[in-house]
Structures are given as structure tokens and as C-alpha cells.
Amino acid sequence: MKRLLLLSLALLLLTGGRAWSYGSSDKGTSGAAFLKIGPGARPAAMGEAYAAVEGDAQAVYYNPAGLAAVPGWDLTGMHNQYFQGLSYEFAAAAAPVSRLIGAEPQRDLGVAALGVTSLSAGEMDRRGLTDAGGPTGTFGATDMAFSAAYARRFDGKLSLGGALKFIHQSLDDKSASAVAVDLGAHYRLDPRWSLGGGLRHAGSSPKLGSVADPLPMTVFLGGAFQPREDLLFALDLGFPRDRDVLYGVGAEYVRKLTESARGAFRMGYSARSADAEGLGGLTMGMGLGYKSFDFDFAWVPMGDLGSTFRYSFRLRY
């Protein structure tokens, strides 16, 4: 098992180590920027500090190794009313492979998951070099990513996972496609402490028209501390190829309302939106749950661009 862990870490360093050498000198040089938007209202309210949080279908984006702790069917969906009329959607489903193939439940065959992300700008006016004569028509822009992931826990503490992504972008009559992989590891130190890390968006460069920009590859590390069942703290560090080091911190408090109902309050800080004026960087949210269903809300201010509101649901069975 130690050899497997060392091999996994070596693979991560070999494929993602180059991301550590990038920084502010490469700002604005990545394509498929929609991949930088983290899905889910719960992670967003916690400053997107989610690399070490496991057992959630949203791990298909944040750290595929976290899928290994999903005990049964886990379905989630999100709508994000982004600024400037942009609309961002996300959906994911995860389930143990033993359930999918009808094997005995006690057999640990890992967890499989599918995810889809979409960012749409809707219809926009087409104009010439000047505004004389008004618009000559309309055009649209859509970005999409489809993910297939698998994760498995090996010794009760270490989990490894990966995701294969197909990315498609369209702008007016032009389109581009790319393939990428995500790799992740999760290690539970004890019932309260856990660590997560990996690599996101490593793959080919989509070529939209005559321009091919590399994907926003990012090495990430995170930790989570849960001193008791109703309280969670998390911290993430991100090392993207196209900007300086990013960090996010978040906290969650869950209170039992009745025997079957619960409420949650979350807040955090994300350096990803800290450049915005006003309350940029601050994140907050709430959640309500009843039995196996959860509804979550997050508020993420973006300065002069306005506030973004994310709404998520999660169903487990």
C-alpha cells in the first residue's frame, strides 16, 4: 500500500508539477475559463474549500477521490444565476459499482460518477465595426464539460480517484473540443482530520477559430477538520497555471431541527473573487434538509459585476 501511495504521489508531481512554476506571468493565457467555476451551493458558501470533503457527488469536480465515501445513490443539481446574464448549470450522479452491477453490497468495488457542467450566455446582438444601423442579427455562446469518474478506498484511510472530461465550446459559428483528466487522493488521518490533493484540468488545448489556449490546469491541496458531527472547517490551496496561488477557507454548522429535519449555516472566504471590490471574497449560505433530501443556497458577491446566487439540491437513497 505504501508503494501504491508513493506511485500515486509521483504521478501527481510528474503531471502537475509544471503548474507550480506558473503564476502571475501567465495571467489570462488559459482557455475554457468556465472550468474555474466551482459547482454546488454548499462548496461555494464554504469558499470552495472542498478538496478534503468526501462522500458527496460534487467531488466529481473538487476531488474525485472523495467519491469513494459515497455509500449509495447520490444525485445533485445546481443552478447559478451568474452576472451579466450568464447562466451556469451543474448536475452529477454517483453510486457504488456494486449497486450498479447488482453485486453483493459488502463488496467494495469502488464508486462511479457522471457529471455535466454548462455555461451559457444566451442570445447576444451581432454588430459590425460601428453601431450605425443597429444589430445585424444574434449569436450565442455555450461551454460544456462532461465527466466520468471512478474512485476507490484501499485501506480504510486512503482513497484514489480520477475523472475523464470531454470539453466542448461554441461561439457563434465556431466550436472547439478538448479532453482532460482530473486526478485526486484523499487520506483520513483520524475521524476528525482528513487531507485531499490532486490535479484538475490537465489535457489538450481547445482551438476556437485560429487560437488554441491551454486549459486552466491546477494543482490543489486541502484539509478538513470536523471536531464534532455538526461542525466542519476546511482549507484549500490552489496552484493554477495562469495566476498566483489561490486559497479558500470555509466553515459549516449543522443544527438538528426535528427528528428528520436539519438546518445548516455556512460561510467562507475565497481568494478567487477577492479582487472584486466591496465584499469580494466573502461567501455565505444556508441549507435545509429533510431525511435524504437537501436544498442549499449560496451568496457570492463579485464586486461591481454584481452578486451571484447558487441553488442546489441533493438526493440520497
If you average pLDDT over residues 252-261, what whole number do you get? Answer: 97
Residue 68: pLDDT above 60?
A: yes
CA dihedral 278, 281, 282, 283 (to 10 degrees): 130
What's residue 106's pLDDT? 78
Residue 68 to residue 161: CA distance in whole angstroms:
8
Q: What is the pLDDT of residues 274-291, one digit of tens each?
A: 665 556 789 999 999 999
Task: Please report, as a single letter, which amino acid is at residue 60.
Answer: V
Residue 20: pLDDT above 60?
A: no
Q: Are 317 and 292 in contact (CB under 8 A)?
A: yes
The topology under which CATH files domain 2-126+138-316 is Porin (2.40.160)
Residue 268 to residue 288: CA distance in whole angstroms:
18
Q: What is the pLDDT of residues 200-254, one digit of tens each?
A: 999 999 887 777 889 999 999 999 999 999 999 999 999 999 888 999 999 999 9
Q: What is the pLDDT of residues 129-178, one digit of tens each?
A: 555 556 666 667 899 999 999 999 998 899 999 999 999 999 887 889 99
What's residue 18's pLDDT? 43
Residue 48: pLDDT above 80?
A: yes
What's residue 12's pLDDT? 45
Question: Angle at the Cα of 169 (from 196 to 161), degrees rounded to 5?
Answer: 20
pLDDT above 90 covers what percent of the chain? 66
The least confident of 56-60, 78-82, 297-301 is 78-82
Q: Are 50 and 62 in contact (CB under 8 A)?
A: yes
Please give the residue that has the higher pLDDT: either 66 or 1.
Answer: 66
Q: Who contacts 161 (Cβ-Cβ below 8 Å, separation ≥6)?
A: 59, 63, 64, 65, 66, 67, 68, 149, 150, 151, 152, 183, 184, 185, 186
66 φ/ψ sector (left φ>0, alpha ψ -120 to 50, else beta): alpha
What's residue 126's pLDDT? 65
- Give how far Cα 184 sits from Cα of 21, 101, 188, Å: 20, 25, 14
Domain ranges of the chain: 2-126+138-316
What's residue 174's pLDDT? 85
What's residue 1's pLDDT? 44
